Amino acid sequence: MKNSFKTALLLWAGLAVLYCGNVAAQEAPSFRHPEQNRWLEEAADLTLRMRELAVDDKAPRLFVSDSDILDYMRQMGAGDYSTLQRVRVAEFSSDKLAEGFMMQTLYYDEQLTAEEREDLRQKLKNRMTPGVLISVLNGQEGMTHLAANAVLSFDRTYMQPEDWREDLLLVLDYGGDYASAVAFWQSGEGTVTGRAAFIVARRADALFEVLDRYYNGEPVPIRELTGEDLKKPSL
């Protein structure tokens, strides 16, 4: 019970970070329209945007003054993000993700009325995105890591392409101490939002474990791309 309560708190913390954070790295919606489902190419571009901010001498100081956090940002950005070594990809339904989360929280509390359950479901449906899973994992890495990502994580909004299938969660591994976790999800009528954040590379497996845990009890297939597959912009 204690572990379930702690995990639920981490999830709500992730929701709060997504709602209030990402102030530094936001850009105005560009509504770019990736052709032929070029989400791998876009994920790599979002990662480079984070890296540029992490190694900037001045911009991060506009949002944080703590020297430990600033040093940690520079540490994350110091890796070589020019060559991908492998990418892991998961595609899944945000509705199932929200439903799985609700099954492990207060959604089925006998004290809730049917109307209260439906109200909770609608609220979670709009907020339980793949980006929350990244925030949950980063919340387990300590306050310095979480604070650094609150500044560095990068969002972009796109026009939804005709070949859009389901929400995406990618981990881009460049062979260093840190990897890039990138989520894409349908965020509005005809729009898709992408969000990138740094994660500790050795903890990448734990990110997909969090996904499995809350995906309504169903394991989510993971595809691994290496070699020639990494040269293709399409997933």
CB distance 200 to 141 below 8 Å: yes
Q: What is the pLDDT of residue 20?
A: 41
40 has pLDDT over 80: yes
More confident residue, 94 or 16: 94
More confident residue, 108 or 93: 93
What does the pLDDT look like over 126-176, one tens digit per residue? 677 889 899 989 999 999 999 999 999 999 999 888 778 889 999 999 999
How far apart CA 47 and CA 179 sit, in angstroms, is 9
Region 33-49 average pLDDT = 79
Region 213-234 average pLDDT = 81
Quote the number of domains for the chain.
1
The range of the structural domain enclosing residue 130 comes to 2-231
**CA Rg value for the chain:** 17
